[in-house]
Structure 1
Amino acid sequence: MNEHSRPSLPAGFMRRLPPLVALAYFEVAARTRSFAAAAKELSVTPAAVSHQIKALEEQLGVALFIRHHRRVTPTAAALSILPRLQDGFAALVDAVDELRSQGEAKDVITVCAEPLFATKWLVPRLHRFYARHPEAEVRLQASLHSVDTAPGGPVTAAAFSRAGIDLTIRFGYGQYPEMNSSPLLAVALVPVAAPGTGRNTITEVLDNGALLTDNTAGRSNERFGWREWCEAAGESFPADAREHHFGNGLLALEATLTGQGAWLVCPELVETELAAGTLRRLSEVALPCRFHYFIVSPERASPRTIVTDFRDWLLDERRLASGQPIGTAVPG
């Protein structure tokens, strides 16, 4: 439903509504099933909660709670409206947050990406965004919360609002209903190692057993590691191989650079090290991954200009990386 197809509110609708504070007190009391717990959450007294609920019941002409000696139970009528009331409050919070973000910081964008991508792909390119938009401020967060745990993931406009995120570069499946989503970088893993470590071929690495694994995508059921790479390369995975596991790509990168073994990585994320010779590819065999990097932001009828600008710049960077002129279409 777009903004033009939404039904108009009836004239004088505010006069039909009870005070919003009373509805808010009711929502907390019904959710917690306790006037005392509601009072604690709202930082008021239980008597204040009881007073607001009683006034609301009188105005609506319906009982909302059954009072017991030391507890309350929401009535069937209360429980029937609670989910819709909660949805209404959530929509109000989202709308106010959007207005606040547009009014207070129209040139500020908060972006989230997983640590390796944020550090090795995004940060080295940011100067080009600032050259295009010198008035902008990018607040970059590096977090594994931008990695999918399942198709669709916990990716909703409400989740973005709670986290204060405007746009995320997600590492995942690409299935994000009701979100703006564009593919940014396909991922295929190749084995790399530091030169001069005595592990100059993949056969030596497999024989030695020093296999480094980045567990970034391990929060999902996807598996694209050494066993899968060996199968793609026609190699036998050694039964006595030792894998050293790291919680994110930056840790695995440091271990690789210091000669601790070989690592499977997307080469676009270590292009600086490959160009400088501090890392070398051990094989041309690449393992395609189901996970890609996607640009994701809430779907809004009128997105903030800074969000649109940042998305457009990311897609231009994708075109540059693929050797295409800016302004041409990039295949998904």
Structure 2
Amino acid sequence: MVKHVEPDQILVKMPSLRAVKSFVAAAKYQNFTRAAEALCVTQAAISRQIRELEASLGVELFKRAGRAVELTEAGTIFYDAAYLSFVNIAQAAQRIENSGKQKQELTICCSPAFSAFWLSSRLPSFFAANPDIDVNVVTTNNFLQMEPGVHPDVFINKASDPREGYHSIPLFYDLIFPVCSPLYLKQNPEIATLEGLRHTTLLNLSPYGRSQIAEHVDWGVWFNTLGIDIDVGIEGERHLFNANDYNMLIQMALNHQGVSLGWHQLVAPMIEQGWLVRAGDAEARFREKLHYLTYSENKKDNEAFCTFRDWFLKCIAEEPTSVVNAE
């Protein structure tokens, strides 16, 4: 026995898409003739489609004044919804169309800090030299638990070979020192000494939510590396601000709100431009804390990946903490 399907009320009541398309064009250009030119049809066709749409809806969508038209209140409501719907349809169609093309594309996964402070300032040169390669950047602090459907070709983090089928190239180690704004240093010259640092406002990187990034370095670890025992959890003369978002800490430092630890590869460009300065000469080198370029083994002979890898390693080789040249 054939089972009958009940009429779909949404689809049944849906106005003609051709008429809606004509309406959107007319509303966008506020002129039937220009709308007709944009859609490569006649002005009479546009007028007819809009009359049919108005009849279907039972309202006027335009106020007509000679050749110019203006949306009514109902027309504005309908245009907002219709235009966004067409944008979504067009973008979905574009994605589907592009998925079938043989494009050179790479998906790179890294931390938000590395993306914001290192990668973003250098990628323009890569794009300029390689306009035929598209790069997708996925930032996360959860490298071991990627979202379903996300399969990066390249990881840039501190985990060597984080999953099966990937290979890692050592890049550089951590060089960490205090940074602040020039104004903050001028107002607090005592922070040029370790003793002065202990009593200033410290912007501290909290470990919460960062367990999948790497072993953690905060102010307590940094001072301890220099042979100074300081408990960042004890209140005293020093004011302590904790956040697990490194981007936020650096922005606060730029806003003259305290001293943050600076990872050389992330803050060097801001120091070169004078936005940040080092607070004293003290620094801690963590030669065992390496960062890696980890890539999918099925990409090792891929042209786009090889181009990106060579460009990336050349950039990294310029870092003072680079271990690339040792390979």
What TM-score, normalized to structure 2?
0.58
Match of 2:132 in 1: 135
Q: Which has the larger radius of gyration?
A: 2
1:55-94, aligned counterparts within 5 Å?
none
Give distance in 2, aligned partners of 1:183 and 1:316.
13
Which residue does 1:81 correspond to in 2? none
Residue 286 (1) aligns with residue 283 (2): yes
- Give matches, 1:3-82, under 5 Å: none
Percent of pairs with identical residues: 20
The answer on whether the counterparts of 2:153 and 2:299 sit within 8 Å (CA) in structure 1 is no
Task: Report the counterpart of residue 230 of structure 1 in structure 2.
Answer: 223
Give ranges in structure 2 of 5+ residues lacking alignment.
1-97
- Cα deviations by residue, 1:22-65 (Å, 9 ceiling, x for unpaired): xxxxxxxxxxxxxxxxxxxxxxxxxxxxxxxxxxxxxxxxxxxx
Residue 274, structure 1, aligned to residue 288, structure 2: no
Cα deviations by residue, 1:135-158 (Å, 9 ceiling, x for unpaired): 111122222234xxxxxx56xxxx
Find the aligned partners of 2:307 and 2:147 in 1 and give their Cα distance.
Answer: 18
Q: Does 1:187 align with 2:174?
A: yes
For residue 145 of structure 1, give the secondary structure of its aligned residue in structure 2.
coil
Task: Note the aligned Cα RMSD (angstroms).
Answer: 3.2
**Residue of structure 2 equivalent to 1:174:** 160
**Counterpart in the other structure of 2:326:** 331
Distance of aligned partners of 1:141 and 1:178 in 2 relative to their CA distance in 1, 3 Å threshold? closer
- 1:106 CA displacement: 3.0
- Alpha-carbon distance in 2 for matches of 1:205, 1:246: 19
Q: After TM superposition, give the deviation of residue 234 of structure 1 in Å.
A: 3.5
Aligned counterpart for 1:219 among listed residues 211, 216, 225: 211
**How far did 1:207 drift?**
1.3
Q: Cα gap change, 1:212/1:205 in structure 2, threshold over 3 Å: closer, same or farther? A: same
Please name the residue that 1:203 is paired with: 195
User: Displacement of 1:250 after TM fit?
Assistant: 0.8
How many residues were matched structurally? 218
2:245 alignment partner in structure 1: 248
Aligned-partner residue type, residue 218 of structure 1: R
Please give the TM-score of this superposition, normalised by the length of structure 1: 0.57
Identify unmatched segments of 5+ residues in structure 1.
1-100, 147-152
The aligned counterpart of 1:44 is: none
Q: Secondary structure at the match of 2:125?
A: helix
State the match for 2:110 in structure 1.
113
Q: How many angstroms does 1:181 deviate by?
A: 0.8
1:309 equivalent to 2:302? Answer no
Decide whether aligned partners of structure 1 residues 195 and 235 sit closer, same or farther in structure 2, where only a CA change above 3 A counts. farther
1:65-87 residue CA offsets vs partner (Å, 9 max, x unmatched): xxxxxxxxxxxxxxxxxxxxxxx
- Determine whether 1:300 maps to 2:311: no
CA distance in 2, matches of 1:118, 1:211: 24
Instruction: Supply the distance in 1 between the matched residues of 2:299 and 2:248 (Cα, whole angstroms).
Output: 40
Please give the alpha-carbon distance, in whole angstroms, between the structure 2 residues aligned to 1:246 and 1:207. Answer: 19
